[in-house]
A and B are shown apart, each in its own frame.
Chain A
Amino acid sequence: MTVNRHEIEHLYVHVPFCKSRCVYCDFYLELEKHGGVSAYVDALNREIHARFSTLKTDALKTPLHTVYFGGGTPSLLTASQVGEILQGIQAFQVFASDCEITFELNPDDAQSPLDAYLEAGINRFSVGVQSLSNDELKKLSRRHDAQTATQRIHDLAKCMGETANISVDLMYGIPTQSLASWQATVQEACDLPIQHISMYGLQLEAGTALETLAKKATKHYPLPSDDEHVTFYEWAVDYLAEHGFHRYEASNFAKEGFESRHNLAYWQQKNVLAFGPSAHGYVHPTRYSVPSNLKAYTAFSQVAEITEEAVVSDVERFENLLIFGLRLTQVGVKASTLKEACPSPALWRHVEGLLAEKIAQGQVEKRNDAYTLHPAWIPRMNSALCDFIGLDAPH
């Protein structure tokens, strides 16, 4: 089967606004209080129009399988703005009947009643819960408390009824977090009417407020050690499995059939058309990013002529398939997929050898002709995965 490498089935929309910056965040964002949301929506609609107009029609022949509103805080958009954006997209490309349309939502700041977003077309929500301990939420400078978050999820579930498809983000390694408080968060989250959990270890990013706090106010911001991170993570993996959430990717857990198809698209190196300031997209063979401040973005949206782009070489794409495919703890990455994507037989022999070596070392498993990381190596995956970088160097 030959794959049309140009067809687009996935689309990402970046919403850069937040009410405030969380202490751990090092992403580009715009503070909502400085205004500009409606101007942004106008620019976004222009960008969508301009960009689609440049694409060849055969790239758009297949229907869209996923759309993802990420941020920032997408819930700072009103439902009608969301509807407008989706309609703008629909003018160029049809949505598959089961298209997964995800919307990131902060527990405290949705601009419209929840059912309005459903009416606009959203059918999956990703809620930034992070923790169900109020002390920890304060350490993270999140604006919501645990009760608001759980209430919001119950409301969402009620609205969505049988079609409920709700994900929550949880974070471990938060300052002051103990195993007990982490366990409480995971247990409570499990009892919520949700279908999906993304679970991330908090990292200290350079230049963030949290980095300063963790260094200067060590007493008030004691960070769990690496060993605790692993303990937290591995406990949660077991607990979630017992409660119907299976791990399908290193950091992602879902009830049967609720795996995020949008995230899978990234990990499997599918084309993802990205819109909005600082969004990152990939349309074979090019990876690109959209300018990341509102002024530059507004200018850009007129023509949507990408300037920041890089051609992903065949070797790099092949590496990405490996690196991200191995993280897919259930389906893994198929040997046949790899072999097909591998630019040369010599390289394939080298990589097969490398994989065999890693299997012997217990780092990688091979099941049903697909490679995955061994569960014991997930916490240390960088040590295992980095050998698949730079394969085009002489070996």
Chain B
Amino acid sequence: MIQVQRNKNIRNFCIIAHIDHGKSTLADRLLEFTNTIEKRIMQEQMLDSLDLERERGITIKLNAARMEFTYDDTVYVLNLIDTPGHVDFSYEVSRSLEACEGALLVVDATQGVEAQTLANVYMALDADLEIIPVINKIDLPSADVDRVKKEIEEVIGIDASEAILCSAKAGIGIEEVLRAVVERIPAPVIEDDKPTRALVFDSYFDSYMGIIAYIRVIDGEIRKNDTIHFMQNGRSYEVAELGTLVPPLKIKRDILHSGEVGYVAASIKEIGALVGDTVTTVRAKASEALDGYKEAIPMVFCGLYPADNDDYVELKESLAKLKLNDSSITFEPETSEALGFGFRCGFLGLLHMEIIQERIEREYNIGMIRTAPSVIYKVHTMKGEVLDVSNPAEMPDAGKRDFIEEPYVHVSIMLPQEFVGTMMELAQDRRGEFKNMNYIDEKRVSLEYELPLAEMVTDFYDHLKSRSKGYASMDYTFLDYRRSKLVKLDVMLAGEVVDALSVIIHEDKAFYMGRALTEKLKKLIPKQMFEVPIQAAIGSRVIARTNIKAMRKNVLDKCYGGDISRKRKLLEKQKEGKKRMKAVGRVEVPQEAFVAVLSLDDD
């Protein structure tokens, strides 16, 4: 048997943690302890480089950092590859895992194991990673280390006897974590002589250097001036620059060996998905690509429309740029009578959708209207065809439909037992089918349900959090498609169907939804120049109606002694208000109305 050669001085690892369990703070401490970043330039949570991440306190985009740590007089290079901690982003987690040999499993000593942690740990186990349990926040008065250890062993099924106790915030146990990384995580195997294969686990667009790919070299090596070849994408480029990542800097190198993590720039201008692709070199060309990742499947869909139609092209470009380092986004052009030209976009989940929308608005400064989130329905027609429909406006008429299937997900919820009643109520209300209930320990329970995805994408997560005072956590996985009694509910303004407001909904909920929608719209749509009937209808059957009275007056104002600017200001204000409106037939509808479907129980 051939002894494998390992690059003894390198460790590649990631951190798995539930949201708020302190992953980013721990990452910061590691960078600080290894003097990777001087304290004075250290921003809180260095790895969360998007503003949005820092604001929301969660990691969305993964990033990587290279640290140097001296242990027994040997300098080790520790590559930390960050992972996001939210339920929507298991896809990104799988990318990070592929580039590592080990993972730190961070569990909050006051909270215990959460549903999402579990899902990520199983992914890490699947990827054969060495897992080091780290119990964080041990300095808090409510910390219960023994209980958490027991949970790790019983729920996850890994040995917690050597779990590291730490407090990232207080700086306790940081060195122990680093030592454990060196001691327990296997060094990467050296395969320098093999044909080159490197995994692209992230990429971003730099306006000077073009697209920069973050890579983990698995086999062989990449040198400066090598011609690299993206095996799936099919394109070749000459390496302009490569190196390693020391946030916030990059360190240029002439060569990256197998086992190393770094970046490569090659004047790549074409926007296309690189992430997940395998890079090889012409010099030592590989014949087979790496496995890549579990492909992320968008589960939640919505229409995104520029608030100002002139921004259509910008919106398209911004989506393309975001797709560059988030290949899970899908988008294709779509037209709405009410909203004009836009895109039907697919996302991993609700949070993912919100984050992408916010990033477009912030980073590209494009105002947008988002339609209600939807899922892909399988519509079986009378002719025997099966159509994938995610846009309610494209739903065939009732007469042409045989039946509709909708996606179901398996949801596991972990929560303190006192919230079980209210959570079951919520799940029931969302057409959930109860599957299982287990006591994790005396206080905590895990609940399992099968639930239509459509019920989950509205605001299930928000309700779950608010009903449990924030203590419940959840994870979901796709199950299958099931036949359901679904109908298309249309909203009509002054007799015209507003395509952007149509929803696909379970028959039993249509009446309530129709009432709620029409009432909400009545509040949101200002008085028009004429009376506007608002109706909710299934096919030609009107199930709810109300009226907006006609407006009679703006302002009959005085012409103030020649102060024309005063009058103009008034008109400018009026115009601003009007700009935020979309014309639906003769009715002017404010943008807020289009997301009203999202938040029917706001008030």
Q: Mark A183-205, 1 if CB is under 8 A from B, else 0.
A: 00000000000000000110100
Instruction: Choose one: A230, A281, A323, A387; the contact of B552 (CB below 8 Å).
Output: A230
Q: With A and B bound together, what is the CA distance between A389 and B559 in angstroms?
A: 17
Binds A, one of B251-259, B474-482, B569-577: B569-577
Check A383 against B564 for contact (C-beta < 8 Å).
Answer: no
A245: min CB distance to chain B, Å = 17
B556 and A386 contact, CB distance less than 8 A? no
Given the interface pairs A382-B570, A386-B575, the reply to whether A227 lies near B553 with Cβ below 8 Å is yes
The closest CB in chain B to the CB of A312 belongs to B564
Residues of B contacting A227 with CB < 8 Å?
Answer: 552-553
Give the docked Cα–Cα distance between A278 and B42 (Å). 54
Chain B contacts of A300 at CB under 8 A?
A: none
* Given A12-B561, A266-B559, A282-B564; A389-B553 close (CB under 8 Å): no
| CB-based contact B564/A229 at 8 Å | no
Tell me the count of chain B residues lying within 8 A, CB to CB, of chain A: 25
Interface string of B313-334 (1 = CB under 8 A from A): 0000000000000000000000
Chain B residue numbers with a CB within 8 Å of A272 are 562
Cβ 8 A contact of B310, one of A200, A203, A289, A394: A394
Chain A nearest Cβ from B217, distance in angstroms: 50
Q: Is there contact, CB below 8 Å, between A323 and B567?
A: yes
> CB of B436 within 8 A of chain A?
no
Any chain A CB within 8 A of the CB of B529?
A: yes
Q: From B573, which residue of chain A is reached at the shortest CB distance?
A: A386
Binds B, one of A147-155, A331-339, A373-381: A373-381
**Inter-chain contact B556/A280, CB cutoff 8 Å:** no
B565 at the interface (CB under 8 A from A): yes
Which residues of chain A are near B571, meaning CB under 8 Å? 323, 382, 385-386, 388-389
**Distance of A230 Cα from B578 Cα, bound (Å):** 22
Within the assembled complex, what's the spacing in Å between the Cα atoms of A382 and B569?
11
Determine the distance from Cα of A382 to Cα of B553 in the docked complex, in whole angstroms: 9
B125 within 8 A of A: no
Docked complex Cα distance between A386 and B561 (Å): 21
Please, what's the 1-or-0 string for A278-290, where 1 marks a CB less than 8 Å from any CB in chain B? Answer: 0111100001010
Do B559 and A267 touch (CB < 8 A)? yes
Interface size class, chain A: 35 or more
Cβ < 8 Å to B, chain A residues 357-395: 378-383, 385-390, 394
| Closest-CB distance, B372 to chain A (whole angstroms) | 29
The residue on A at minimum CB distance from B529 is A380
Interface core residue of B553, B554, B558, B564 (most chain A CB under 10 Å): B553
Q: Which residues of A contact B557 (CB under 8 A)?
A: 200-201, 203, 251
Whether B562 and A280, one on each chain, are in contact in the complex, defined by CB atoms closer than 8 angstroms, is: yes
Closest B residue, CB atoms, query A394:
B310
- Determine the chain B residues whose CB is within 8 A of the CB of A381 once the complex forms: 554, 556
Q: Which residues of B contact A251 (CB under 8 A)?
A: 556-559
Give the distance to chain A from B438, nearest Cβ to Cβ, in Å.
58
**Once the chains are docked, how many angstroms separate the CA of A289 from the CA of B564?**
11
Does A57 reach chain B (CB closer than 8 Å)?
no
| Residues in chain A near residue B560, CB distance under 8 A | 27
Q: Which residue of B lies closest to A323 (CB)?
A: B571
The interface bits of chain A over 322-350 (1 if a CB of B lies within 8 angstroms of the residue's CB, else 0) are: 01100000000000000000000000000
B563 surroundings in chain A (CB, below 8 A)? 280, 289
Beta-carbon contact of A380 and B574 below 8 Å: no
B41 at the interface (CB under 8 A from A): no
Given the complex, which residues of B lie within 8 Å of A266, measured CB to CB?
559, 562, 564
Given A201-B555, A379-B553; 13 other pairs, CB 8 A cutoff: A201-B557, A203-B555, A263-B559, A274-B562, A289-B563, A323-B568, A324-B559, A378-B556, A380-B554, A382-B554, A382-B571, A383-B551, A385-B574
Q: Which 3 A-B pairs have the closest CB atoms?
A: A382-B554, A386-B574, A386-B575
Which residues of A line the B interface, CB within 8 A? 12, 14, 27, 70, 200-201, 203, 226-227, 229-230, 233, 250-251, 263, 266-267, 272, 274, 279-282, 287, 289, 320, 323-324, 378-383, 385-390, 394
Could you list 9 A-B pairs, sorted by A, with CB under 8 Å?
Answer: A14-B561, A27-B560, A226-B551, A230-B552, A274-B562, A280-B562, A323-B568, A379-B553, A379-B554
